[in-house]
Copies of this chain bind each other. A is one copy, B any other.
Amino acid sequence: MTGTATREILKLTARPEVISFAGGMPAAERLPCELIRGIADELLGGARARELLQYGQTEGLKDLRAELIEYLGTIGLKAADEQLQVLSGGQQGLDLMCKAFLDKGDVVLVEDPTYLAFLQIVKTYEAIAVGVSADENGLVLGDLEDKLKKYRPKLLYTVPTFSNPTGKTYTAENRKSIIALCERYGVVVIEDDPYGRLRYDGEEVPTMKSFDTSGTVVFISSFSKTVAPSLRVAFAFGEPSLIRKLSIGKQCADVQSPALCQAIVAEYLRRGHFYPTLEKSIAAYRKRKDAFLAALDAYMPDGVRYTRPNGGLFIWAELPKNIDAAAMLPEAVARNVAYIQGCEFYADGGGRNTMRLNFSNSDEQRIDSGVKILSELIKSKL
């Protein structure tokens, strides 16, 4: 097993003087502390307190699963109880999917670039991640089919809505075609959806799962970015036979998720706090995203290209080919600005001249200063 960049970066961002565009944290001031405090107090003072501190079922708290069915309805998904597995963060779902499906040497297809922690998880199972090229519509279907034929992969991993790291969203047509191809080749699709509710502009695109008529897609989503990361409450939604594999894996991995955290999220949903609180975060993040793009437009030299995402937490920047973003990171940190070098997100290496920029966790002023510092550093390399 190898070390992880994310972890080291989470440490960096702890230094207050660092303007961190690394990480993918919600804004601390957006976290609904008082709502959660009130719910926790009622739960621990109520009739169910003992139940919430005692061992519970691996599948997850019944109330939470019931609320998840309601919640999924609000995003156009019709779920049944036996199609749900509560997870300790969406990443646990990625780990358990790999544990259930991958043997040493197996291939997993991923978008190039993709979520770096998924690449690290695949490594821990001694499996091989192969990158599929992508364009503004989503995955390049010809390349996907070639690689489905060539590698006979076990899984396709996607973050189709406000992708980590690029912030891009696959079109509805692209989603349908990906599912059709994966059905034909009998490949399970992981739809990782941590950011789907964080839309700032443009039209809602239906989830891949909503186009899935054959049970090819396992939809994994989380409340880390929309309620609170450290409650570690997430879930998987898929065919009972696949969900059962995750349940068995979770039984071995950690028995169950903490019931108190599950009950807090269940109550938070039941009391209708989710969307009203989310709306406020969306308004704040939209401002930050726009401020970030405005600063990039104002300061970045020609030859630097970047995405203009409609949602999520990230902007993806491509620097002139001669600039190595990984080599430049220590210089940036010395100037108190942090980002993640894009090469971390590539299955097959490459992307040395790219970087992932988070806009949710810095205010407009720090965004402006940080982008300015970064732009000057880049100019000095031209």
Q: A-side interface residues toward B, CB under 8 Å?
A: 1-4, 6-7, 10-11, 23, 25-26, 28-29, 31, 33, 36-37, 40-41, 44-45, 49-58, 88-89, 91-92, 95, 99-100, 103-104, 117, 120-121, 124, 224, 228-232, 245, 247-249, 251-261
Contact A95 B253 (CB under 8 A): yes
Contact B230 A260 (CB under 8 A): yes
Contact A230 B256 (CB under 8 A): yes
Complex Cα spacing A347 to B107, Å? 32
28 of the cross-chain contacts (CB-CB < 8 Å) are A1-B100, A1-B249, A3-B248, A4-B251, A4-B252, A28-B51, A28-B54, A31-B49, A31-B54, A36-B53, A37-B40, A37-B44, A37-B45, A40-B44, A41-B44, A53-B231, A54-B228, A54-B230, A55-B229, A55-B230, A88-B257, A89-B254, A95-B252, A95-B253, A103-B104, A120-B251, A230-B259, A231-B260
The residues of B that contact A3 with a CB separation of less than 8 Å are 248
Q: Which residue of chain B has its CB nearest to the CB of A52?
A: B230
The residues of B that contact A104 with a CB separation of less than 8 Å are 103-104
Contact A121 B36 (CB under 8 A): no
Q: Which residue of chain B has its CB nearest to the CB of A38?
A: B44
The residues of B that contact A44 with a CB separation of less than 8 Å are 33, 36-37, 40-41
The residues of B that contact A40 with a CB separation of less than 8 Å are 37, 40-41, 44, 260
The residues of B that contact A99 with a CB separation of less than 8 Å are 1, 124
Q: Which residue of chain B has its CB nearest to the CB of A253?
A: B95
Also in contact, A120 and B260, with CB within 8 A (given A52-B230, A53-B230, A230-B53)? no
Complex Cα spacing A57 to B120, Å? 17
Complex Cα spacing A230 to B258, Å? 5
The residues of B that contact A58 with a CB separation of less than 8 Å are 7
The residues of B that contact A57 with a CB separation of less than 8 Å are 7, 10-11
Besides A1-B100, A56-B230, 19 other CB < 8 A contacts?
A1-B245, A1-B252, A2-B248, A31-B50, A31-B53, A37-B44, A37-B45, A37-B49, A40-B41, A41-B41, A53-B229, A55-B224, A88-B254, A88-B258, A91-B253, A91-B254, A117-B252, A117-B255, A232-B258
Tell me whether chain A's interface is mostly helix, strand or loop, or mixed. helix
- How many copies the complex holds: the figure is 2
Complex Cα spacing A248 to B261, Å? 24
The residues of B that contact A31 with a CB separation of less than 8 Å are 49-50, 53-54
Q: Which residue of chain B has its CB nearest to the CB of A231?
A: B258
Q: Name the 9 nearest CB pairs between A and B, nearest first.
A: A37-B44, A53-B228, A33-B49, A230-B259, A31-B53, A28-B50, A55-B229, A92-B254, A88-B254
Q: Which residue of chain B has its CB nearest to the CB of A229?
A: B55
- The smallest beta-carbon distance between A227 and chain B, in angstroms, is 8
Complex Cα spacing A257 to B256, Å? 12
**Most B-side CB within 10 Å, residue of A40, A51, A121, A224:** A40
- The smallest beta-carbon distance between A253 and chain B, in angstroms, is 5
- The smallest beta-carbon distance between A136 and chain B, in angstroms, is 30
Also in contact, A232 and B249, with CB within 8 A (given A33-B53, A36-B44)? no
Contact A248 B37 (CB under 8 A): no
Complex Cα spacing A252 to B41, Å? 32
Complex Cα spacing A10 to B120, Å? 34
- The smallest beta-carbon distance between A364 and chain B, in angstroms, is 19
Complex Cα spacing A172 to B231, Å? 41
Q: Which residue of chain B has its CB nearest to the CB of A40?
A: B40
Contact B229 A257 (CB under 8 A): no
Contact B260 A91 (CB under 8 A): no
The residues of B that contact A1 with a CB separation of less than 8 Å are 99-100, 245, 248-249, 252
